[in-house]
A and B are shown apart, each in its own frame.
Chain A
Amino acid sequence: MVEGPSAPFDRPAVDRRPEDDGRSHGVGQILAVGSRPAGSSRIVLEGPPRTGEPTLRWRSRARSIDEIEQELARIWSEPNLTTMVEGEPGRHIAARTSVMNLVVIARQPEIAERCAATIQQLTGRHPSRTIICSPADPDGPSWLDAAIQAHCVLPREDAPETCAELIYLTVGGESGRHLDAVVAPLLIHDLPVTVWWPGDPNLATESGRDLLRMADRLIVDGSTWSEDGLRRLGDLAGLLDDARLAISDFALVRQYRWREAIAAIFDMREFLPYLRSLRRIAVAYATHDATGATGSTNLVKPVYHVAWLASRLGLRVERPLAPVPGTAKPARGAARPMSRGLAAILRDGRHEVGVVVRPVQSPMPAGTTLRVELLAERRGSELRADVTAVQESVHVGVWLDGVEEFDRTFRAPRWSDVDLLAQSIEAGGRDPITVEALALAADLVGRGPAGERRGPPAEEAERGAEP
């Protein structure tokens, strides 16, 4: 395989810098990825590609926004590409397609690589102009380096390839603090803008807000946020005031199988009335910290379980999550016992619904939900539901007055990042379920509009309670 200019249509390189490493190539050189037959000046693209599998077709390099625009235009006006059709070289036909602009803010190169790999899996399903931005060297001079690629997918054997552009942007110096100014000129106009912000997003900063002002959808993964993630959860809920912005959190989307299983309990008519008589919601989550101290483990997923249930049932937060009192101070030299977790009170009219979110030391990834328990009381009768999940399924058990009434396993595999991204992209507009769950989650951790009136958020309260 070779990479090279597809002469004679290539223009001379406009700016070839000596610092280019061996892997890369000069600015302004469009490289088709394929092979060059002996004696031919043309690149024959690798062909024919396998249906449904993305293939890197072109790549180029640029060092300014203008150059990026020029390179993008040249990629699609490049007429001199051939592919093997039934053993004979023929003109390669590809259609550039974009249904949206996808902007990824990746603070580390490995995150950028992972996101790019995920997006490429969706090239055929959701072709988009993807701009992956990585700020670098914030204290140095401003600079920009862009790798421009076109990835193509053959949807069917008899259809033309569908191609989408991927622009890796590394932005140094002051420019890295104004990503909105870098991204804006590269957006295809009239197409929706989705900002995928993996890792720890700076949602509350001025630059973060500037970037989100141009976005129609924000995608985050709350389960990867550092510390307990609750501060960012509040920041995320703060964005709900912008009615234009739709929000998807992988942490919430990922819980679909739990929601399906919990909802299935109350699809049964005899259990449905208990839903309005809920008295307790308990969520156990995995921690690697032997003390389970608040702040040591991301709590976004367990909080979302409670928030989704509460928002669907119209419950209000009476008292936000705070450490369960009663953890005795350990004797000098003794190991600190496992935290009893956090507790909150929700209210359903006259009834209180207790909430407990408690850590359990487990080899599972920290923050993973291990169990959701529901307790409902109605006319002297008690319903207890217990939901657990494993790799490919979710298990539900229901006991009525201690007698097992329901025992069901749902086949429901975990979603990969590709599935989660596809789900998030496919959701049209603001999803009211997400909006309500997120608003309630913020209230629950004392960071929503209601919580601001109520006092300090959970981790601060615990810090105050600690010995």
Chain B
Amino acid sequence: MTTETRPPGTRPLPDAVPAAPGEGLPGTSSEPQGEPDLPKHPAPRPKDAPRTMRELRLAREGRRRAAPRATDNPLREGLRLERVPDPAVLVLFGATGDLAHRKVVPALYQLWRTNLLPHEFVLVGIGRREYSDESYRAEMRASMEKHARVQPIDEEAWQSFTERMCYERLDFTDSAGFDALAHRLDAFDRERGTRGNRLFYLATQPSAFGEIVTQLGRVGLDHERHDGGWRRIVIEKPFGHDLESAIRLNREVGKVFRERQVYRIDHYLGKETVRNLLVFRFGNGIFEPIWNRRHIDHVQITVAEAIGVEGRGSFYEETGASRDFLQNHLLQLMSLVAMEPPATFEAEALRDEKVKVIRAVAEPRGSEVRRTVVRGQYGPGWVAARDVLGYRQEPEVDPSSETETYVAARLMVDDWRWSGVPFYLRTGKRLPKRATEIAIQFKEVPHRLFRDSASEPDPNLLAIRIQPDEGIMLRFGAKIPGLGIDVRSVTMDFTYGSAFAVDSPDAYETLILDALLGDASLFTRADEVEEAWGIVDPIISAWADAAPPDFPNYEAGSWGPEEADQLIERDGRRWRRI
């Protein structure tokens, strides 16, 4: 027996209170536990065990569910989609930055507009710039004209949303400022009924993460209260610069917050099609049996951007395509494609399976990097009928920069399911168009029956389009109408926009709502981050040890350097033309 100490005046937690006789929940026993010497009796029947034939039949039909756990609220069953988060204060660090303007605040407004935020909700914007509450609201209103997903702005909803929005000027090194913030948050609990629940959202430069987390810990804003106030922190990528810095960041955060309080956002995981990937794989019976090395020839994952560095030259110089996309988005998508079915649709089960995939990836090292990874940098060219600069001519970019704007890699997942199936990953800037896609290339038929066909049909292909035109395409062979047997590839196309005719929520809406609800399924865990850096770090090290690259090696508006084509063509395959 342990003695629990709790603050005076607080009530004991319900799970710390022993149940009174007969008070246990259905399916739980109030019998003494762990006494093997007691006489053996048949186990008492749970209260909700079937008693009559009808109840037994209903139970068999699945109409009676398993007894809930003592900590579950049985009234929640069936309400998950409608659940509104607890009252809370969202403290947005970096509230004047680009991410806050373009993504976070528009997402919050949209959640508010659709009644998915609690009535007792407060948004506290934190930044270094001087704003009053009013001027901050006005700036956000102007920003909303450009970035809100649904236009025009619902003035009534915006008005009620801004009543819950305020601004605090705060230097992240200012201890007194954090003390004042803690007091103000406490005042919100009293005045606005936010009940001690806080979501800290770090939309700042990564260099500020450590300082903010330390300050939050110093003033006790990480402490979850016994009377129910939760504390969570959302961290935007990049999660470190390399493995060492990622471990350091995880440690810094871990000193203050427990892992279950930390929500690392990779916004790709909030995209509707990415979430649908799980449904597609595990909600359909026909795909999983062929989702393995026996039927799949290879997998291609493409994240192509038509844009350049868009004024973020100095940031990109330190990052490059491998850190900006390969380490997170591409490896996350790959892990979702390759993961084993989780036992439950719960955060830990999902993340356990994802991290197993990343662990199973054979890390390319030394000379192997030259054969399996290609880097590139764009030169001047034409994209979408526009003459564009080369990377080295972009503002804030070193004219002799060796930073890669393109990376293609051939990775192998060394496990039973995927042994021998290459995963080709590529991402780049200034490619011909914006497109993110996962293509599952199936093996050819073992025997060509229609030898006389004029054209050889392509093997089956399943393409999951993540953006734009979210949807799924399946390619198969069909007979061309006519007297002969000519086979041609045709496609079955599913497009979200046409099939459902409803807008998908923005990834940030999904993820912020999940963070407020405490659902970490779509967030990245510390070990996932570190394992992913374990793959990317040796690649970057090998490049650092190699001779200077011959950059630029692809023209803006092309699909990347020739070496990338050679990378896949060596295996007798080709990149998909998207």
Query: What is A's interface to B at a CB cutoff of 8 Å?
Result: 52, 95, 124-125, 153, 155-156, 159-160, 162, 243, 256, 259-260, 262-264, 266-270, 272-273, 275-277, 309, 312-314, 349-350, 379, 393, 407-413, 430-433, 435-436, 439, 449
Contact = CB atoms under 8 A, between A and B. Distances in A.
Contact of B115 (A95, A267, A412): A412
A205 B83 CA distance: 39
Nearest to B87: A408
15 contacts: A156-B497, A159-B498, A162-B501, A263-B83, A268-B228, A269-B15, A269-B71, A269-B228, A275-B75, A277-B23, A312-B74, A314-B74, A379-B20, A411-B84, A432-B65
Interface string B226-244: 0110000000000000000
A411 B121 CA distance: 11
A385 to B, nearest CB: 11
A436 B82 contact: no
B63 A432 contact: yes
Interface in B45-60: 47-48, 54
A125 B501 contact: yes
A436 B62 CA distance: 11
A350 B20 CA distance: 13
Of all A-B residue pairs in the complex, the 7 with the closest CB atoms, nearest first, are A124-B501, A433-B78, A263-B75, A155-B501, A273-B14, A411-B115, A409-B119
B228 A312 contact: no
Contact of B73 (A153, A267, A407): A267
Interface of B: 11, 13-15, 17, 20, 22-23, 25-26, 47-48, 54, 61-65, 71, 73-79, 82-84, 86-87, 115, 117-120, 193, 227-228, 495, 497-498, 500-502
B227 A256 contact: no
B82 A260 contact: yes
Contacts of A243: 61
Contacts of B15: 269
B26 A273 contact: no
Contacts of A264: 84
B47 A349 contact: yes
Nearest to A351: B22
Dominant SS at the B interface? Answer: loop
Contacts of A430: 63
A413 B411 CA distance: 50
Contacts of A156: 497-498
Contacts of A160: 498
Given A159-B497, A270-B228, A407 B193 contact: yes
A256 B82 contact: yes
B339 to A, nearest CB: 24
B193 A408 contact: yes
Contacts of B84: 260, 264, 410-412
Contacts of B62: 432
A408 B192 CA distance: 10
A345 B246 CA distance: 60
B14 A266 contact: no
Given A268-B228, A269-B14, A349-B47, A436 B193 contact: no
Given A313-B74, A433-B78, 12 more contacts: A125-B500, A162-B498, A256-B79, A256-B82, A260-B79, A268-B228, A269-B71, A270-B11, A272-B71, A349-B22, A409-B120, A410-B118
Given A269-B13, A270-B11, A408-B119, A275 B26 contact: no
Nearest to B227: A270
Nearest to B502: A125
Given A314-B47, A411-B115, A259 B228 contact: no
A230 B414 CA distance: 62
B22 A155 contact: no
A243 B63 CA distance: 10
Contact of A449 (B54, B76, B119, B193): B54
A284 to B, nearest CB: 20
B75 A312 contact: yes
B38 to A, nearest CB: 23
Contacts of A269: 13-15, 71, 228
Contacts of A275: 73-75
A283 B495 CA distance: 46
A432 B48 CA distance: 16
Nearest to A427: B78
Contacts of B54: 449
B194 to A, nearest CB: 11
A257 to B, nearest CB: 8
Best-surrounded residue of B61, B120, B501 (most CB of chain A within 10 A): B501
A262 B47 CA distance: 24
Contact of A413 (B75, B79, B115, B227): B115
